[in-house]
Structure 1
Amino acid sequence: MSDKAKIWGSTLAAAAAIVGALFAVEGGFVNDPKDPGGATNHGITEKVARDHGYKGPMEQLPKSVAVDIYTQDYINEPGFNRVIAISPAVGHKLVDAGVNAGAGRASRWFQEALNQLNRGGQDYPMLTVDGQLGPRTLAAYQALERKRGRAKACEMVLKLVDVQQGAHYMRLGMPTFVVGWVDHRLGNVPLARCAETVAGGGQ
C-alpha cells in the first residue's frame, strides 16, 4: 500500500472516530421546545434530515443516515477532512464545533485563530475570514506548524477556537443550554491529543 493510501485510510478512520464521539455527546432523540433546532436525533435536526431526503419519524432516524449526514455536511463539504489529515485533534474540534454552531462559523473561528497567531502577517499571510476552508487556510496552518512545532500549533489553535466558541455561547441569550455547551463542547478535545497523527503515531 502506498503512503498516500495509508494516509487516506487513516484519515477515514480518524473521521469515523470523530463521528463516534459526536454520537456520544449528542445522545438520542430530543425535542426541547426551547431549542430552535426542534426535533433532533443523534445530533441531526429534523430540517437537516429532511434536506437529505429522510421522510420517517425523527425518533427512528437510523444511525447510518446520521453518519452519512455528518460525513457529507460536517466533514467533507467544509473541508474538515483535509484538516483531519494534517491534525486529527484540530479536525475533531472543527467538526464538533461545526455540528454545534455551524460549519461555516467553525471555519471562520479557525481562520481567525490563524490570523491571530501569525504575528501580524510575519509568519504567513493574513487570511480572509470568509468561512471557506481552502488551500490558503491549510497552508497557513502548516506554516504555523513549521514555526511553532506540530503539537504547539495545534494547542494554540484549539485554545483560540474554544475562546471564540465560548464567546458565541455568551452572545446567544440561551441560558438554558449554556451549562451543557460549556461542559461538553469547550475543552472537549484534550491538548494531549495534539501529538496525534492520522497514522496514530506521535510527532
Structure 2
Amino acid sequence: MIDDLIDAVIDREGGYTNHPADRGGATHWGITEAVARANGYAGDMRHFEREAAVAIYRRIYWLRPRFGDIAERAPLIAAELFDTGVNMGPAVATGFLQRALNALNRGARDYSDVLLDGRIGPQTLTALDGFLATRGATGETVLLKAIEALQGERYLSFAERRPANEAFLYGWLANRIG
C-alpha cells in the first residue's frame, strides 16, 4: 500500500520546483530542502534523487507516525493521513483524526475521547476501533469526510492569512482533498 501512496505523491508533486510564493523553498519530488537536509542530503536540490525521496516518505511520513497501524484498520484513512502528513506534517494529520474521532463519539458514549497530542498510540487506535465497530461499513467514509473537512478549512485559513498562498489554494483543494 505505502509504495503506491508514495508513487502517487511523487507523481503529483513532480520534479524540482522553487516557487517564489512557497515558504518551503526549493523542493524536489515534494521533499523540501529543509527536510532533505534534516535527513542528511547536502547537495543541490535539483539533483535530489527519487530514491532518497522515497526513503524519506516511508520513514518520516509513514513509519514514524505509525500510519501503517491505521492502514490495518482503515486503509482509506491511512492513505489520507499519509497525504495530509506530507503536505501539513504528520502531527497535524493525526490531530485531524483525533479531533474527528472525539467529535464523532456521541459524547464519549461509543468510546472515550482521545488526547489531542498528534501521535498515534494505543488510545487513538482504541478509539478508531470503537468508532469502526460502532459505525460499521460506512464509518470509514464518514470519518474520511470529517478529516478532509478539517484539512480544507486549514487550506482556506492559510490563504486568508497569507494572500501569497492563494497561488496554491486551488491545487490544494483539487489535488489533496477527495
TM over 0.5: yes
Instruction: Name the CA distance, whole Å, in 1 between partners of 2:11 and 2:75.
Output: 18
Q: Compute the TM-score of the two structures, normalised by the length of structure 1.
A: 0.83
1:16-47 alpha-carbon deviations (Å, 9 max, x no partner): 11111111211111100100000001110000
**What is the RMSD computed on CA atoms of the aligned residues?**
0.9
Aligned to 1:175: 166
1:62 to 43, 49, 65: 49
Matched ranges for 1:130-169 at <5 A: 130-149=117-136, 151-169=137-155
Judge conservation of contact 1:111–1:131 (CA < 8 Å) in 2.
yes
Matched ranges for 1:1-203 at <5 A: 14-149=1-136, 151-173=137-159, 174-187=165-178
Judge conservation of contact 1:104–1:132 (CA < 8 Å) in 2.
yes
Give, in angstroms, the shift of residue 138 of structure 1: 0.8
Give, in angstroms, the shift of residue 166 of structure 1: 0.6
Aligned to 1:198: none
Give, in angstroms, the shift of residue 141 of structure 1: 0.7
Give, in angstroms, the shift of residue 159 of structure 1: 0.3
Give, in angstroms, the shift of residue 86 of structure 1: 1.7
Structure 1 residue identity aligned to 2:154: H
Structure 1 residue identity aligned to 2:156: M
Instruction: Name the CA distance, whole Å, in 2 between partners of 1:62 and 1:156.
Output: 38
Instruction: Name the CA distance, whole Å, in 1 between partners of 2:12 and 2:127.
Output: 30
Instruction: Name the CA distance, whole Å, in 1 between partners of 2:71 and 2:19.
Output: 32
Instruction: Name the CA distance, whole Å, in 2 between partners of 1:112 and 1:118.
Output: 10
Divergent runs of 4+, >6 A: none
Instruction: Name the CA distance, whole Å, in 2 between partners of 1:98 and 1:123.
Output: 27
1:133-170 alpha-carbon deviations (Å, 9 max, x no partner): 10110111111111111x31210111011110011011
Question: Number of residue pairs matched?
Answer: 173
Instruction: Name the CA distance, whole Å, in 1 between partners of 2:129 and 2:7.
Output: 27
Structure 2 residue identity aligned to 1:129: L
Gaps of 5+ in 1: 1-13, 188-203
Structure 2 residue identity aligned to 1:44: I
Judge conservation of contact 1:15–1:84 (CA < 8 Å) in 2.
no
SS of 1:86's partner is coil
Aligned to 2:162: none
Give, in angstroms, the shift of residue 49 of structure 1: 0.2
Structure 2 residue identity aligned to 1:180: G
1:88-116 alpha-carbon deviations (Å, 9 max, x no partner): 21101000000011111000000001111
Give, in angstroms, the shift of residue 128 of structure 1: 1.1
